[in-house]
Each structure stands twice: as C-alpha cells, then as structure tokens.
Amino acid sequence: MRLQLALKDALIGAVVAALLFIPLVALRTDVGSTGALTLRYRWTDAAILIGLVFLGRLALVLWTGRTGLRPSTSAGPWTLRLQRLGKLAAPAFLAFALVLPAIPGIDRYWLDLGILVLTYVMLGWGLNIVVGLAGLLDLGYVAFYAVGAYSYALLAQYFGLSFWVCLPLAGILAAFWGVLLGFPVLRLRGDYLAIVTLAFGEIIRVVLLNWVSLTGGPNGISGIPRPSFFGLPFSMSGGEGTFAGFFGLEPSSVHRVIFLYYLILALALLTNWVTIRLRRQPLGRAWEALREDEIACRALGINVTITKLTAFALGAMFGGFAGAFFATRQAFISPESFTFIESAIILAIVVLGGLGSQIGVAVAALVLIGGTEIFRDLQEWRMLVFGGAMVVIMVLRPRGLVGTRTPSIALGKRRAIDGKLVGEGHG
Amino acid sequence: MVQAGIIAPPSPDGNFPYAAAAGMASFGATGKHGLEGFLAYALQQLINGISLGMIYGLIAVGYTMVYGIIGMINFAHGDVFMIGAFLSLIAVLLLSMGGMMGGPAGIILVLLLSIVITAAYGWAIERIAYRPLRGSFRLAPLISAIGISIVLQNFVQVSQGARVKPMETLIPGGVEVMREDGFVVQFAYTQMLIIGVTLAVLAVFTILVTRTPLGRAMRACEQDRKMASLLGIDTDKTISLTFVIGAALASVAGTMYLLRYGVIDFFIGFLAGVKAFTAAVLGGIGSLPGAVLGGLLIGLIETFWSAYFSVQYKDVAAFSILVLTLIFLPTGLLGRQEVEKV
C-alpha cells in the first residue's frame, strides 16, 4: 500500500521535475560564434535531475509515510548531545583560534583563510544582534560594512588619520547610519523592514558607484594605509622604528598577517562578548522579548522604538568595525565587494547557525566560508547550496538545529525551553 | 556582476531599465534638448514609461495577490519573472528552429509555453518552500523566500550560464507618432504589443477574480482564511492557484521584457522584483488595481528621472520612492488601513 502511494507520488514528482528541468537544463542557450544565440542539448543532465527527484520522493514517502514535510521545533534526539558538545566546543574553538598562527605547517594561505572566516564570524555575530536577538530582518547589512570600509578609506585618504583613530570612527559612523535608516522605518512590520533595508543597501552601493569624485566610483579606492602595531609599522626594512626592528625580529611579511589575524579575532570576540553581556541586561532581554511578541512588549511598557534602534545601531556598529578592518586588510575597496549577495551570505550564516545562537553562527561561518573556500572549483554552485540550505533549514527546523533555548534569566532552576512551548507573536 | 555595457544596445530609443547600474550611462537619456524638442522628447518618454510601467504592473500584481492572501512578501517573485523571460527565450529559439516563429501565432505560442512552465515553477515553489511553513514563526517564510530567490538565480546561472543573452529583435520598427526638429517620436510595435497584451491579460485576470468561483474563493481567503476553510473552501488549493496565477502574470511580463529589450541575464529578476514590489506598495499592497497603477507610476517616474536627471541614479529614485511611501503613506494610494489584532 505504502509502496503504491510512494510510486504514485514519485511519478507525479518526476513529471513536475520534467516540466521544470527540461527547458532550463536540457536546452542551454549559448552565444554562438556569429553572435546569435544557439541551443545546446543536455538531455543527460536533465535526466539525472529528474531521476534524483523521483528517487528522492520515493525514499521520502517510503521512509516517513507522508507526502509532505512538516517543520519541527521540538527537541530532536541529537539536541542534548549537540548542547553538551557546544559547551565543550566553544572553548575548544577559541583555543584553536588563539594558537592557530603558532601551529607548525600553518602558512600564509591558512592564515588568510582564517582572517576571512573570522571576518564573516564577526559579521554574522553583528547581524545576529539584529536578526537573531531583536528579530528584525535586515537584508542590507552589507551597507554598514560598506560605510565602515569607506569611512576608514576616505578618512585615511583625505585627512591622513591612522587606523586606530578611524576604527572607532568607522563604527560610530556606521551606527549613525543605522539610526538614520532605522528611525523612520522601524515602525514598519517585519517584512517591510526587510525590503527597505534591502533598498537602503542598494542605494548606498549605487551612490558609492556613481559618486566618482569622492569614492572613485567603480575603480574604488586603492592604497589604503595598513595598520601599525601601536605606532610601529610592519615594514620590510627592519629599521629602528618598525615592528621587526623594535622587537629584534627578522623582518617578514607574515608578521602583518598574524597581526591582522589577531586583530580580527579580537574584534570578533569583542562582538561576542558585548552580545553575551547585553543579553543578560534589561536591553538584551527586551530585544528577545520583542522578537517573541511585539504587542506584549508594548503592553509591558517597553519602548519598542528605542529597543529596536539600539539593536540596529549596535549591529551596524560592529558591521562598521568589520568594514574598517576589511579596508585595511585589503588595502583596496570598491563597490563590488558590497553587493546584495554579500548580505545574503551573512544572513545565510545567521540563519543556518540558528537564529540567536553565538556558537552556531561561528560554526556556520566556518563551514560556509571555509568550506567553500577549500572547494574553490565549485564556486558557482556555492550560492545555490547556500540558498537551498536556507530553505531546507527553514522548512525542517525553523528554530535552528538545536531547537531549544535556555532563557537568559530564569526564576529558580534554569531549564531549556522546548521550542514547542515558545509561542510566536505577530508584531 | 554582468557588465551590460559589452553588448549592443537593444533598441534605438531605448530606455534599458534593469541592467547593472555600471556602464549603462549611454542607453538612457539621449541628452538635453532645446525647448523646441521638448514636447516630442517628453512624449517619447511618456510612451516608454507607460510600456515599462505595464511590465512592472504585471509583476506587482503577483506580489500584491500573494500578500493579500497569506500576508507574506514573496521575495522570489522577481526571479520567477526572470525564469519567465528565460523560458520565453528558449521557446523563441526552439520555435525558430522549427520554423514556426513567424507572425503572431509564434508570439502566442511563446507566451503559452512560457506561462505553463513558469506557472509550474510558481506551484512548485509554493509547495516546497512556503506551504510547510504556514503557521510557523513570522520570519520563517520570508527567509525561505530569500533562499528560493538565491536558488533560482544561481540555478539559472549554473544551467544557462552567467553571460548575458542578447536576442535578435523579433519585431522591429514602429509607428512614427510625431516629428519635431529632427527628433522622431516612435511608438514601437513591441511597445504596442506590451500595452495591448498587458491590458488583455489584466482584463482576463480581473474577470477571473471578480466573476468566477475561484476568484470568490481567493477573495474569501484574503478576508479570513480560517473562516473560509470552515465554509468548505480548500484554502491550500486556493493559495496554490494564487501562486500559479501570479507566476503566469510574471511570465507574461518576462516575455514582454524579452521582446522589448532583447537582453536578459540571470540577475534581471532582482531589480525588477524590488521595483515591482515598490509599485505594489505604492499602489497599496493587497489592492489589484493599485498594483497596476503603482507599476505605471514607477515606470513613468523611472523613465522621466533617467531622461531629465540622471541615469546612474534611477534605481536610487525607485528605492527612495519605496522608502518614502512606506514612511509617509504605508497603506499606499489605493490600499486600506490594516488593523492589527491581537
């Protein structure tokens, strides 16, 4: 009986898949040598896809006995194990991150990869404040990253300010933009907010692209000064006033990379620390309450606008820090680095890590950024996998893989709250 | 990002609306004209703006319908439009290989093929990504929709390649409306086709919504989904059909876009989607006539903005309208006040 049902369902699935995949996969349009478009046939590719859909549906129905998937927020069998693992994993990760440059065999490539991953960890943690804690879907987070990067680049270029002066300034400017954008739009419902932040991100990018006299337009800004070690530049000359000369080391280009690595590690840990501390304070609790039920928050006398604005401003500030770091690391920035795809990647990290979970975001950044960096050949499949993973996670476990939460503050014994018990308000 | 500057400009008088902001300066404003050419130039922009606005309107209807029924922004709708454009291109190539592309029958066949398959995409998307999430927490369907949008874009990028696809003009020429000081105002045949087809499709669609049992079920779901299901309406089926109809309209927009501008790539859905969403919000989200009105307004504003101010900032103009509308006129022009209930 079940087999019959499964076969029927799988056949329907295969027919739909044939409708979807035959035109777009089997018939490939190519610009021919004459400049005219030609069709190239790829029947095997389409057949493989259709076969996969057929087998997938068949397996699904045979295994679960149902034709549809249901989202679940209840604790899975792996929940406790994951939580216990998480307790051990966080210090282990930290220790590994701290000693990474000292591990023998770690060369420049791995350090650069580490810097890249940590940048995304920091961005993920920054966005986590906005999306994970306060429940405001921000699709234009990359705008604050861009504001931070351009703030540092322009301040350094026009006023000759050093990185250490510009870093807080970049954060403040980004936070200022966050408030400026947030103030009028935060009264909007969640999904409107998402689109407006998206529009804002695009506006910033288009302005950066077209304001050629200030930002250099599509050519970007190059020659952005590198950071110094408390006033000691990383120079290859090895003279008296340089980092290598001061500490009596052999001048090496790796010094700066190691320094940048620790710098972004410190910045990311700062983001994490601030978030963890704030979660225990009235402000952080107000964020989480807001995420659960906005109307109840209002009824309890929480100033919704101020609460949302602080989340927005703080998230933006950390984005700005990360941007300034990005600028000084690359020494070159252009609007191309700040497209919507970048926002989508950061959001994917936060979503896949489980909204609101700090360690989850770090692991997601490591897997998504580090993983795809290692499989470089599959570059064009990367976003396809990201998007698909976002859908799958939302459909199967919308509250993230762990699915339970430990309340930040509790009366009496602290217990994990099953996701089933957490009612979701509509604000 | 695709550099749209490499390929030949698609139309002589053309306003090329969606391509990447970089390198597009040469296709838009044809420069400043003297006072004598003013009327002709403005008339040309009016024609361009209306035909562009019709395309936005068709996409915006899809946003507004879905929002009306399940209160969710279908973020992937712009990419469904892109899928529609690609399917039309493939249909055109297939038919011209079979020698069936001549005359209006070819165009109708292209429209039909693209509508059927795009509708299948709309159905599948709803079934896979949105239906399991009904009744889940607020951000879940939106995040899922963003995921679908990314998937569709990259699916087309992987399967059809990242390069832009320039198609030969199928319907060249047009009617000369007026001539003033050497500036010819042309009403292209493709523009006539866009306006005609859009009006016809919208008429059919209006009858569907106001006169048929399906339309009644849709309106009932929009007012109160729980009550509608208690009264025996299959809400799941109605919502599915809403997505199918929305996708079909987006596919018509895709075909029209392809015929008019001739150049597509996997990224056109993003900007078109945001602008059509702006149109839906401007017209009042949830209101069907509002979506068409909003689309026309956005098309006109964008065209005149590029013609008289700056092409580079035309996207900024559309986005700013979105932000301003949401702040000052959140219910839009024809929308109704939304009452929030606990």
Please determine, for residue B25, whether its predicted confidence score (pLDDT) is greater than 50.
Answer: no
Q: Which of B158, B312, B340 sits opposite A384 (nearest CB)?
A: B158
Tens-place pLDDT, residues B256-302: 999 998 889 888 998 899 899 989 988 888 888 889 999 999 999 99
Q: In this complex, is the C-beta atom of B267 within 8 Å of any C-beta atom belonging to chain A?
A: no
Q: Which of A70, A196, A388 sits opposite B132 (nearest CB)?
A: A70
CA distance B171 to chain A (A): 16
Q: Which is higher by pLDDT, B168 or B277?
A: B277
Q: Which of B90, B148, B320 sits opposite A23 (nearest CB)?
A: B90
Which residues make Cβ contacts (< 8 Å) with residue A300, sequence separation at least 6?
Answer: A289
Among residues B225, B222, B93, the alpha carbon closest in space to that of B170 is found at B93
Instruction: Report the Cα B129 to chain-centroid distance in Å.
Output: 22
Contact A147, A304 (CB under 8 A): no
Specify the 3-state DSSP secondary structure of A160.
Answer: coil
If you measure CA to CA, which chain A residue comes closest to B322?
Answer: A196
Which chain B residues touch A195 with a CB distance below 8 Å? 73, 274, 277, 322
Residue B125: which domain range?
55-328
- Please report the pLDDT score of residue A395 as a whole number: 84
Q: In this complex, is the C-beta atom of B117 within 8 Å of any C-beta atom belonging to chain A?
A: yes
Supply the DSSP symbol for A229.
B
Record the tokens describing residue A123, joined without a space.
């961005």
Euclidean distance between CA atoms B328 and A297, whole angstroms? 25
Q: Which of A28, A207, A386 sits opposite B160 (nearest CB)?
A: A28
Residue B45 lies in a domain: no
Residue B155 lies in a domain: yes
Indicate yes or no: CB of A31 within 8 angstroms of CB of B157. Answer: no
Q: Which is higher by pLDDT, B29 or A40?
A: A40
Tens-place pLDDT, residues A184-217: 777 777 678 888 888 888 889 988 988 888 888 8
Indicate yes or no: CB of A195 within 8 angstroms of CB of B154. Answer: no
Residue B168 lies in a domain: yes
Most A CBs within 10 A among B151, B298, B325, hence the mutation to make, goes to B151
Question: Does the predicted interface ipTM exceed a cut of 0.85?
Answer: no
CA distance B51 to chain A (A): 24
Q: Which of B132, B148, B159 sits opposite A71 (nearest CB)?
A: B132
Average pLDDT of every residue of chain B: 83
Q: In this complex, is the C-beta atom of B147 within 8 Å of any C-beta atom belonging to chain A?
A: yes
**What would the mean pLDDT of A87-116 be, rounded to a whole number?**
83
Q: Which of B123, B129, B161 sits opposite A391 (nearest CB)?
A: B129
Indicate yes or no: CB of B315 within 8 angstroms of CB of A390. Answer: no
Indicate yes or no: CB of B90 within 8 angstroms of CB of A29. Answer: yes
Confidence of residue B212 (pLDDT cuts 50, 70, 90): very high
Q: Which is higher by pLDDT, B320 or B84?
A: B84
- Please report the pLDDT score of residue B3 as a whole number: 36
Instruction: Report the 10 Å Cβ neighbour count for B92.
Output: 25
Cβ-based contacts under 8 A for chains A and B = 199
- Please report the pLDDT score of residue B57 as a whole number: 93
CA distance A373 to chain B (A): 18
Q: What's the pTM?
A: 0.85
Most B CBs within 10 A among A24, A50, A192, A214, hence the mutation to make, goes to A24
Among residues B283, B279, B267, the alpha carbon closest in space to that of B18 is found at B267
Record the tokens describing residue B208, joined without a space.
């569907």
Quickly list H helices, A100-189: 108-128, 141-159, 163-185
CA distance B286 to chain A (A): 14
Q: Which is higher by pLDDT, B55 or A31?
A: B55
Q: In this complex, is the C-beta atom of B142 within 8 Å of any C-beta atom belonging to chain A?
A: yes
Record the tokens describing residue B149, joined without a space.
């949008």
Residue B11 lies in a domain: no
Which chain A residues touch B22 with a CB distance below 8 Å? 209, 218
CA distance A199 to chain B (A): 5
Residue B14 lies in a domain: no
**Following DSSP, what letter does each residue of A352-420 receive, concatenated?**
HT-TT-HHHHHHHHIIIIIHHHHSGGGHHHHHHHHHHHHHHHHHH-TTTTT-EE--SS-SSS--PEEGG
Helix axis angle for B235-261 and B38-70, nearest 10°, is 160
Which class for A3: exposed (0-12), middle (13-18), buried (19 or more C-beta within 10 A)?
exposed
Which chain B residues touch A33 with a CB distance below 8 Å? none
Indicate yes or no: CB of A387 within 8 angstroms of CB of B154. Answer: yes
- Please report the pLDDT score of residue B315 as a whole number: 82
Specify the 3-state DSSP secondary structure of B186.
Answer: strand
Domains: count for chain B: 1
Which residues make Cβ contacts (< 8 Å) with residue A326, sequence separation at least 6?
Answer: A119, A145, A148, A149, A333, A337
Most B CBs within 10 A among A391, A393, A397, A399, hence the mutation to make, goes to A391
Q: In this complex, is the C-beta atom of B20 within 8 Å of any C-beta atom belonging to chain A?
A: no
Please determine, for residue A222, whether its predicted confidence score (pLDDT) is greater than 50.
Answer: yes
Indicate yes or no: CB of A137 within 8 angstroms of CB of B139. Answer: yes
| Angle, alpha carbons B246-A384-B166 (nearest 5°) | 65
Indicate yes or no: CB of A195 within 8 angstroms of CB of B73. Answer: yes
Please determine, for residue B39, whether its predicted confidence score (pLDDT) is greater than 70.
Answer: yes
- Please report the pLDDT score of residue B341 as a whole number: 53
Tens-place pLDDT, residues A236-251: 666 666 777 777 677 6
Supply the DSSP symbol for B8.
P
Indicate yes or no: CB of B162 within 8 angstroms of CB of A188. Answer: no
CA distance B155 to chain A (A): 6
Residue B92 lies in a domain: yes
Quickly list H helices, B126-265: 140-160, 189-211, 213-223, 225-230, 235-261
